[in-house]
């Protein structure tokens, strides 16, 4: 039997990728974060720059079409594979449904797990896809596929969604425009777009940003910068690099960019202590909650994509307690994120994605855990042209009354999910980009799911 029998099922609409092309195709080469770190080591005293009433509230999203307002992405990354059965797609009456219960949400007819009471109050503003089907059951390969829309390929590395958005956006910032907060070891990458589009990594916003202040007094620091730019760099290049190579290395430009970042007031966006306590409390006193609040502040100052990672979902043992514990952190932070984006008039132009690399098996293993499951799991979307209050797909709880079923209704491929997210951001998923070896690549091989768009 399929879940949520009270939800009306809509017919399949035609799928296409007819979204206007957006953004630039310039030959500009933004600055490499890795090079910036290396140069700061040389000029900064030997230190590295370390990786830095709701039912009526969901108003129309028409303002997301305003070209003067840049689009952004906040990815709440649930590292390890959240269980759809303990989050957005509970089956408490199934033989292996676990101890979770269903609760009503702000979207009539939709019930989700009682682990997410505050997100339940925001479901009227979200689209919920309960039938995502992946191809990769290994953590690393599945992370790659969900973040890039492609399966791993030994011949190239595909860019993540945020990297594409940064590449296609003309709106800049003095700090990196693609940021990963609390990275788990697999942050989003720029792929064939170049390492300058890799996510810049920072840790708990409660901690000061390391290595952005000179380790020597200002006059000595300025002297080092002057020597580097006027003496060391020309001497190094002399006799070693042709003019074309000298331009391509971007040493000077990278140094100047790093210096700009070190003195930028935009860095203060990561300092969530500047927010009133009443604004901080709803997110929860956790690194993830602080990361979600920092993500909003970063979007306000021009960052285009922020990835905030919450670990603890890999529940091969003790599934119910591990999933419940992770939900206690996710629920207040994600709900507060959506509410605060709306309050600051940012939800209409910010795509919120709540996802992990795959789901968990309907059956319980001998260790009271759930294993990896790619045959139908959940992804939640909100904002930026996403249709509010919509549920797509269903999963079957059991087959023949006994065995877990693999079938889903209205399956959604990861490629189609990516194409839809790109379209919501105003990027043509079928647009081609020439890789550095002149290989034409589409941003996505999927088709836009028009039912998910507002």
Domain boundaries, the chain: 33-38+53-218+265-452
Strand ranges inside 119-192, DSSP E: 126-133, 178-181
Q: What is the mean predicted confidence (pLDDT) over 189-200?
A: 93
303 neighbors 67 (Cβ within 8 angstroms): no
Rounded Cα–Cα distance for residues 345 and 403 (Å): 47
Rounded Cα–Cα distance for residues 199 and 163 (Å): 8
105 neighbors 380 (Cβ within 8 angstroms): no
422 neighbors 386 (Cβ within 8 angstroms): no
The pLDDT tens digits for 231-277 are 777 766 666 666 555 555 556 666 777 777 777 788 889 999 999 99
Rounded Cα–Cα distance for residues 31 and 25 (Å): 17
| Distance from the Cα of residue 30 to its chain's centroid | 21
What band does 48 get if pLDDT is binned at 50, 70 and 90?
A: very low
Terminal-to-terminal C-alpha distance of the chain: 30
Length of the chain: 454
Which residues make beta-bridge pairs with 396? 2
Rounded Cα–Cα distance for residues 173 and 176 (Å): 7
Would you tell me the crossing angle of helices 319-343 and 287-300 to the nearest 10 degrees? 30
Q: Would you state the CATH architecture of domain 33-38+53-218+265-452?
A: 3-Layer(aba) Sandwich (3.40)
Q: What is the mean predicted confidence (pLDDT) over 156-169?
A: 96
Alpha helices in 286-399, H assignment, sequence order: 287-300, 319-343
Strand ranges inside 26-138, DSSP E: 72-78, 102-104, 111-113, 126-133
Phi/psi at 111 (5° precision): -125, 140
Rounded Cα–Cα distance for residues 436 and 439 (Å): 7
Least confident piece of the model among 2-6, 118-122, 132-136, 179-183: 2-6
What band does 1 get if pLDDT is binned at 50, 70 and 90?
A: very low
CB atoms closer than 10 angstroms to residue 59: 13
The pLDDT tens digits for 165-183 are 999 987 667 889 999 999 9
Phi/psi at 291 (5° precision): -65, -40
- As a whole number of Å, the CA-based R_g of the chain is 23
Which residues make beta-bridge pairs with 133? 413
The pLDDT tens digits for 392-433 are 999 976 555 555 556 789 999 999 999 999 999 999 999 999
Least confident piece of the model among 21-25, 145-149, 399-403: 21-25
pTM: 0.82
Alpha helices in 82-138, H assignment, sequence order: 117-120
Least confident piece of the model among 146-150, 213-217, 328-332, 341-345: 213-217
410: left (phi over 0), alpha (psi -120 to 50) or beta: left
Is the model's pLDDT at 79 over the cut of 80? yes
CB atoms closer than 10 angstroms to residue 38: 16
- Per-residue confidence (pLDDT) for residue 420, from 0 to 100: 98
- Per-residue confidence (pLDDT) for residue 192, from 0 to 100: 96
Greater confidence, 15 or 190? 190
Dihedral angle, C-alpha 129, 131, 137, 141, nearest 10 °: -40
- Per-residue confidence (pLDDT) for residue 14, from 0 to 100: 30
The contacts of residue 281 (CB under 8 Å, 6+ apart) are: none
């Amino acid at each position: 039997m399929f879940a949520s029998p009270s939800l009306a099922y809509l017919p399949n609409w035609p799928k296409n990728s007819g979204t206007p092309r957006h953004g630039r195709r310039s030959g500009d080469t933004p600055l490499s974060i890795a090079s910036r770190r290396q140069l700061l080591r040389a000029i900064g005293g030997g230190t590295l720059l370390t990786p830095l009433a709701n039912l009526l509230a969901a108003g129309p999203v028409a303002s997301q079409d305003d070209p003067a307002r840049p689009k952004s992405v906040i990815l709440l990354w649930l590292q390890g594979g959240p269980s759809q059965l303990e989050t957005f797609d509970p089956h408490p009456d199934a033989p292996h449904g676990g101890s979770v219960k269903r609760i009503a949400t702000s979207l009539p007819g939709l019930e989700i797990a009682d682990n997410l009471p505050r997100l339940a109050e925001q479901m009227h503003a979200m689209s919920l896809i309960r039938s995502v089907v992946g191809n990769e059951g290994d953590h690393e390969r599945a992370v790659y596929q969900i973040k890039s829309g492609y399966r791993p390929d030994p011949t190239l590395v595909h860019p993540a969604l945020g990297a594409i958005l940064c590449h296609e956006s003309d709106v800049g910032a003095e700090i990196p425009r693609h940021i990963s907060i609390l990275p788990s070891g697999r942050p989003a990458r720029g792929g064939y777009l170049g390492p300058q589009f890799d996510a810049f990594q920072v840790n708990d916003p409660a901690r000061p940003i390391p290595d952005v202040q000179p380790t020597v007094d200002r006059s000595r620091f300025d002297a080092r910068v002057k020597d580097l730019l006027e003496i060391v760099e020309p001497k190094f290049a002399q006799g070693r690099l042709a003019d074309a190579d000298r331009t391509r290395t971007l040493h000077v430009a990278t140094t100047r960019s790093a210096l700009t970042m070190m003195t930028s007031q935009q860095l203060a966006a990561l300092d969530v202590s500047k927010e009133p306590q009443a604004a901080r409390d709803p997110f929860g006193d956790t690194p993830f909650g602080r990361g979600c609040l920092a993500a909003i502040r970063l979007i306000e100052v021009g960052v285009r994509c922020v990835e905030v990672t919450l670990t603890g979902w890999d529940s091969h043992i003790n599934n119910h307690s591990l999933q419940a514990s992770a939900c206690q952190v996710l629920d207040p932070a994600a709900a507060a994120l959506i509410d605060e984006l709306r309050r600051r008039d940012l939800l209409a132009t910010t795509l919120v994605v709540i996802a992990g690399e795959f789901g968990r098996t309907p059956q319980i293993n001998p260790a009271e855990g759930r294993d990896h499951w790619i045959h139908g799991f959940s992804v939640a979307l909100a904002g930026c042209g996403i249709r509010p209050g919509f549920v797509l797909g269903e999963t079957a709880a059991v087959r023949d009354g006994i065995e877990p079923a693999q079938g889903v209704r209205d399956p959604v491929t990861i490629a189609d999910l990516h194409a839809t997210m790109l379209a919501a951001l105003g990027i043509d998923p079928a647009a081609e980009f020439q890789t550095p070896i002149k290989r034409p690549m589409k941003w996505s091989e999927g088709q836009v799911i028009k039912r998910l768009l507002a």
